[in-house]
């Protein structure tokens, strides 16, 4: 903890494990940036993003010298304790990925404990513990495949909550990816869950790596086939046209609004 005292009384304290980045600004200022997990936004209206401290060179608590002023000493102390390692380089990243909800093209980075979606206007960080399930659902007679990431709590953009992230991959797109994980980490932490490199269809490579890192289960189309031998039937939800996928434990309507209907929630069918 970092405790800030005024006189002899504590004014506030900050958990340093929540610090994601810290940097020196000039010779006297230290900025702390905090982990912002976008999925918590659903429950809380405000969260602390950053905090900056002014540490004058005359400070006596963090004694410095000409080359390393007090702010530098303070910064190094924070650095030693804070959870700065999670801004580590991504295990793997995919560029120019089309996401239908929240709409846009994103660079998708898979880290060891979280997933990051970086778009031109948005940047979402999603802890793997928030991922409930992955769905890999091919479109019939169409060159695209949906990969849906179901979240609880959902991510938030403005006033809108997104419990499902719908990614659209070009089905035939082939990629080759090396994971930036050492052999030791792979053997100790991800034994039988991840390989050191992948070569194959982009949506398969993505879902396999995400499953390996997050431990989330993957649902694929069940035995259902439509009269055109597709995995889904054309349908509409209110004013939106889309596809309804009958799955083993429910129905999934895609692409928008992505709606998961569990069998246990169905009271009756009306023909």
Q: Rounded to two decimals, what is the model's pTM?
A: 0.70
Domain that holds residue 156: 92-218
> What are the tens digits of pLDDT across the range 14-39?
888 777 767 788 888 888 877 766 66
What is the number of domains present in the chain?
2
Residue 100 and residue 72 in one domain? no
264 within a domain of the structure (yes/no): no
* Domain final residue pick, 34, 59, 80: 80
* Domain final residue pick, 80, 115, 141: 80
Residue 211 and residue 173 in one domain? yes
Residue 132: pLDDT band (50, 70, 90) is: very high
Mean pLDDT of 69-77: 87
Residue 59 and residue 103 in one domain? no
193 within a domain of the structure (yes/no): yes
Residue linked to tokens 């924070």: 78
Residue 98 and residue 207 in one domain? yes
Spell out a b/e string for 98-120, using b for 16 or more CB atoms within 10 Å of the CB, else e: ebbbbeeebebbbbeebbbbebe
Q: And the tokens for 6?
A: 């005024």
Is-contact 129 114, C-beta < 8 A? Answer: no
Residue 42: pLDDT band (50, 70, 90) is: low
d(CA 218, CA 132): 10
Segment (H or E) for 212: helix 202-214
Residue 96 and residue 169 in one domain? yes
**Alpha-carbon separation of residue 144 from 1, 127, 185 (angstroms):** 49, 27, 34
Residue 69 and residue 142 in one domain? no
């Amino acid at each position: 903890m970092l405790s800030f005292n005024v006189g002899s009384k504590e004014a506030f304290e900050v958990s340093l494990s929540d610090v994601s980045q810290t940097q020196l600004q000039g010779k006297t200022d230290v900025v702390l940036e905090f982990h912002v997990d976008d999925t918590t936004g659903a429950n809380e209206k405000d969260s602390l993003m950053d905090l900056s401290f002014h540490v004058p060179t005359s400070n006596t608590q963090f004694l410095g010298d000409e080359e390393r002023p007090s702010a530098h000493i303070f910064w190094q102390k924070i650095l030693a304790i804070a959870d700065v390692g999670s801004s580590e380089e991504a295990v793997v990243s995919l560029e120019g990925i089309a996401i239908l909800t929240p709409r846009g093209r994103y660079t998708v980075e898979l880290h060891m404990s979280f997933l990051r979606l970086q778009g031109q206007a948005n940047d979402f960080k999603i802890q793997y513990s928030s991922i409930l399930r992955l769905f890999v659902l091919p479109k019939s007679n169409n060159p695209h495949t949906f990969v849906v990431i179901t979240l609880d709590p959902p991510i938030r953009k403005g006033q809108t909550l997104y419990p499902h992230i719908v990614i659209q991959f070009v089905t035939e797109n082939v990629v080759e990816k090396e994971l930036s994980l050492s052999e030791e980490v792979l053997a100790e932490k991800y034994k039988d869950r991840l390989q050191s490199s992948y070569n194959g269809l982009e949506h398969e490579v993505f879902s396999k790596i995400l499953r390996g890192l997050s431990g989330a289960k993957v649902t694929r189309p069940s035995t259902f086939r439509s009269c055109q031998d597709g995995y889904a039937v054309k349908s509409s939800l209110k004013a939106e046209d889309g596809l309804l996928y009958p799955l083993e434990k429910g129905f999934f309507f895609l692409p928008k609004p992505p709606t998961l209907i569990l069998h246990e929630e169905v009271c009756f069918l009306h023909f």
